Structure 1
Amino acid sequence: MSKKHKKEHHEEHADETWLIPYADLLTLLLALFIVLYAMSSTDSKKFQDMSKAFNVAFNSGIGPLDKSSVISDGMMMEDSQNTRRHEDTKDMSKEDKAALMKKEQEDLEQLKKQVDKYIQANGLTTQLDTKLNQSQLTITISDSSLFAPGSAKVKPDSRKLAIEISNMLTKYNDYEVIVSGHTDNVPINNDEFESNWELSSMRAIRFMNIVLENKKLNPKNFSNIGYGEYRPIAGNDTPAGRSKNRRVEVSIIRKFTDASKVIEVSTTPSAASTSTATAPK
């Protein structure tokens, strides 16, 4: 008796694994449209902040959400300065404003002369530079004269410079002073600092702290900021250029400005142009 073989019927199932990446794609598209909608309803300032944050991310590998606050802080500081200047002058007559602008110009020129005289007398022409323009008087100090490489601790023999600057500032105690730190673009990652942002910020703070040991100064007029590698004054493709970019700047901010005039005064050789130090941060 022959056996009857029954053929088993196997139901064919379509391969549906493609649904997973398809669903992911739809999710990403939805997120994209949400972001585009949000950007379309924001103001121009927020858009610029976002643009700068992404620019930092694409050029340095730093996440925009991690560091965009540093950029925003810098922009807020600049906006705050402009607001204060406007409020100081909006109710003044042209004659009063002109007199105050003349007095301010004389003050800043006198302070610059004092600093320049100190630079010349102490042979610091390759380490310090002064520049007076339409917005501020800036004292630029090479980092090699203040800090050891990769450190934010002010050298003991450099404290004298900070103290001397603080003594000069006591005669101009009603001006706003901003201390800013700058680095080159070589990444840093040691036990103390994870990035150039932290190094530049801490160097500015440490130098400012020494200046404010002078009790004749009003701490309310002082602030600090770290710009990391993002405000270079020279190229970072050579050791000499990187040396110029590593610096601390003390900026005495004008309260009155005349946009029609640009005042540029610099009598001392530029530390940036003469320094050839190649030491790292």
Structure 2
Amino acid sequence: MSRRKKKQHHEEHMDESWLLPYADLLTLLLALFIVLFAMSSVDAQKFQKLSKAFNDVFTGGTGVLEFPSPMPEGQMQSTDAVSDKPSEEPEEYAALDKLEKEQLKQAADQEELAALQEKVDAFIENKNLAEKLETSLTTEGLLVSIRDNVLFSSGSADVRTEDLKIATEIAELLVMDPPRNIIISGHTDNVPIRNSSFESNWELSVMRAVNFMKIILHNEKLDPRWFSAKGFGEFQPVSDNKIKEGRAKNRRVEILILPRAGNQP
């Protein structure tokens, strides 16, 4: 009786041989989805490596991943060549490129200011003003210094009538395309002023700068938005105030022509 039951139970047991091809099919489907996902990023190098890895696993016959490269061969090689280079952050590339461009701009700007300096120096030579006007090119820009006795009477902030022509000619030299920011500043010696018009050398220096700027801006080619005036009194001397010659150098009006970089109105 017990033998018959055991035999009947063995006959009812299901055949599980179908599990092996089913598992292979699932594996192939998984591999296919992985390949499709890898192809979506169109990374030729990773695609080739992934394809080789799966083909090594699924041996026998043509590998399921033996597809042609999604990129032309030449393009794929160039991608590999780039990948061999040490990786750098895009920000570093951008910063380096920006720095190089800025340096080129500054160099070109300095060359333009140097050309403008030659132009002003030629004007000074033609007008025999070498002892009264001088230029210097610095990192701050092109500086044109004008002795006060070229434009003003002692203790006065009004440009003398006989010097209006020189001021007008200087204004013509300041016409540039594109324009630049220009600062006009007044300076005095340290001798206290003694008249009813000004309480201090500071006020005198400011008004000299402003009045000279007004004459300059009579030139319609110049845009007032690019101009500003300052007064420093006796507080920025360029020579010794203890001697007559030094005080004469300190009494001056300066025109500072600024570099274009970072100086928009």
| TM-score of Structure 1 vs Structure 2, range by shorter chain | 0.5 to 0.7
In structure 2, what is the equivalent of residue 84 of structure 1? none
In 2, are the aligned partners of 1:184 and 1:228 still within 8 Å (CA)?
Answer: yes
For this pair of structures, how many residues does the alignment match?
168
* Within-5 A mapping of 1:231-246: 231-246=236-251
- Which of 219, 223, 230 pairs up with 1:225? 230
Letter in 1 for 2:192: P
In structure 1, what is the equivalent of residue 215 of structure 2? 210
- Which of 200, 206, 211 pairs up with 1:201? 206
Q: For structure 1, which segment, 172-181 or 205-214, has the greater mean C-alpha deviation from structure 2 after superposition?
A: 172-181
Task: Identify if the C-alpha distance between structure 1 residues 128 and 202 changes in structure 2 by more than 3 Å, giving closer, same or farther.
Answer: same
| SS in structure 1 at match of 2:167 | helix
Percent sequence identity over matched residues? 43
Task: Identify if the C-alpha distance between structure 1 residues 251 and 170 changes in structure 2 by more than 3 Å, giving closer, same or farther.
Answer: same
In structure 1, what is the equivalent of residue 196 of structure 2? 191
- Which of 166, 169, 178 pairs up with 1:164? 169
- Which of 77, 95, 108 pairs up with 2:100? 95
How far off its partner does 1:232 sit?
0.3
How far off its partner does 1:92 sit?
7.4
Larger Rg: 2
In structure 1, what is the equivalent of residue 255 of structure 2? 250
Task: Identify if the C-alpha distance between structure 1 residues 191 and 91 changes in structure 2 by more than 3 Å, giving closer, same or farther.
Answer: farther
For 1:172 and 1:130, the matched residues in 2 are separated by 21
**Higher relative contact order (Cα pairs below 8 Å, separated by 6+ residues):** 1
In 2, are the aligned partners of 1:119 and 1:125 still within 8 Å (CA)?
Answer: yes
Letter in 2 for 1:123: N
For 2:97 and 2:167, the matched residues in 1 are separated by 36
* Within-5 A mapping of 1:99-114: 99-114=104-119
How far off its partner does 1:95 sit?
3.4
In 2, are the aligned partners of 1:173 and 1:217 still within 8 Å (CA)?
Answer: no
- Deviation string 1:52-97 (CA, Å, 9 cap, x unpaired) is xxxxxxxxxxxxxxxxxxxxxxxxxxxxxxxxxxxxxx99713322
In 2, are the aligned partners of 1:107 and 1:172 still within 8 Å (CA)?
Answer: no
* Within-5 A mapping of 1:1-281: 93-256=98-261
For 2:244 and 2:227, the matched residues in 1 are separated by 32
- Deviation string 1:143-187 (CA, Å, 9 cap, x unpaired) is 011101110110112112221121111125531100000000001
For 2:169 and 2:177, the matched residues in 1 are separated by 14
For 1:176 and 1:92, the matched residues in 2 are separated by 27
Task: Identify if the C-alpha distance between structure 1 residues 101 and 239 changes in structure 2 by more than 3 Å, giving closer, same or farther.
Answer: same
Letter in 1 for 2:174: L
In 2, are the aligned partners of 1:180 and 1:204 still within 8 Å (CA)?
Answer: yes
For 2:97 and 2:250, the matched residues in 1 are separated by 40
TM value normalised by structure 2: 0.60
| SS in structure 1 at match of 2:199 | coil
In 2, are the aligned partners of 1:173 and 1:218 still within 8 Å (CA)?
Answer: no
For 1:216 and 1:254, the matched residues in 2 are separated by 19
- Deviation string 1:19-39 (CA, Å, 9 cap, x unpaired) is xxxxxxxxxxxxxxxxxxxxx
For 1:234 and 1:180, the matched residues in 2 are separated by 17
Gaps of at least 5 residues in structure 1 are 1-89, 258-281
